[in-house]
Amino acid sequence: MVCMRVGRGTRRGTRTKVFRKQTHTLKFAPARMNRPRKEALGSLKGLVNRAVRLTDSEEDLAEEIKLLSDAFIVEGFAVEEVDTTVRNYLAKIRNKESEEGGQTQMMTDDGECQEEEEKRHVITSLYVPGVSDKLRRQLKGYNVDLVFKRGQTLGSLISNVKEKRTPERQKGVIYKIPCKHCEECYIGETKRHWGTRKGEHQGYVRRGEASKSGVANHAVNMLHHPDWEKSHVVAKEGNTYRRRMMESILIQARTGGDDRMPGTMNVDNNYRLDTTWGRTFKFIRKDYKIFL
């Protein structure tokens, strides 16, 4: 982050420096990690480069570099390697700024100016302590850059495993429970898991609590058994009002005002629909497979 100071009086203008919150942990790169030493110190070079580009005064730059050096030394890096890395990288930046032209250019036969670039190849590999560093130095002579990447770990394999959601784990659904002995069915809705609500219906039927559920009422009075295996989710809707409205539409679409059609086990209905809905009931029954 950049901090800007506006000068007053004789010291007018703006000055920028690196700003860091007081709660900053100053944890950049621990020395004990499974990566090359030079790459670990590469983060120090990046922070030094940022300090050079953002700070205007030499005092602020020296203060920032001292803070970075102390932070890396606390993390376990040797004082000599930290000082050498900072000193060499600062010298490299200064030399680069003093150079003129930047890149060598050559004139083509057509008189066009092109940048001279050396083609290099890149290979990615896992980092193996004691082997990868030697291999990188050898490949560098053949214009091949070796880049290390992190491989799969046991933790990454476990964390990426996502449990497949079964219909019983779905929330906010409209469901249907058919009867084994007749063509009637129960149409209900729940904001909880479908499996939880289904288990409650099974408990009401098993205990003969006819007043608790239309399914249990049908089973006790008609001596019929619900077909739990064919019970399923008809539709899914998270909004409570729309879900209950959809439940009412499906309940009334079951008969459609025609007494020749099989009814439902439902003893009540949330919303009564106008008779103008009658023309759409056959399409609703087809789309939601209310008879299957």
Residue 161: which pLDDT band, with cuts at 50, 70 and 90?
A: low
Are 281 and 253 spatial neighbours (Cβ–Cβ below 8 Å)?
A: yes
Domain boundaries, the chain: 23-94, 120-151, 170-288
Return d(Cα 55, Cα 62) in angstroms, integer. 10
Residue 76: which pLDDT band, with cuts at 50, 70 and 90?
A: confident
| Higher per-residue confidence, 61 vs 164 | 61
pLDDT of residue 193: 93
**How are the residues of the chain apportioned to helix, strand and coil, as percentages rounded to the nearest 5?**
45, 20, 35
Are 76 and 30 spatial neighbours (Cβ–Cβ below 8 Å)?
A: yes
| Higher per-residue confidence, 169 vs 290 | 169
pLDDT of residue 217: 92
Kindly tell me if the per-residue pLDDT of 211 is higher than 80.
yes
Region 214-239 average pLDDT: 92
∠269-273-274 over CA atoms, to 5°? 155
Kindly tell me if the per-residue pLDDT of 35 is higher than 80.
no
Q: Which amino acid is it at 123?
A: I
pLDDT of residue 9: 45
Kindly tell me if the per-residue pLDDT of 70 is higher than 70.
yes
Query: Tokens 């942990």 identify what position?
Result: 25
CB atoms within 10 A of CB 190: 18
Region 164-179 average pLDDT: 88
Are 289 and 235 spatial neighbours (Cβ–Cβ below 8 Å)?
A: no
Residue 292: which pLDDT band, with cuts at 50, 70 and 90?
A: very low
**Residue 21 DSSP one-character state:** -
Beta bridge partners of 106: 114
Q: Which amino acid is it at 90?
A: L
DSSP 39-82: HHHHHHHHHHHHHHHH--SHHHHHHHHHHHHHHHHHTT--HHHH
pLDDT of residue 49: 87
137, two tokens: 């130095």
pLDDT of residue 36: 72
Kindly report the pTM of this predicted structure. 0.45
Q: What are phi and psi of 252, to 5 degrees?
A: -75, -25
pLDDT of residue 143: 83
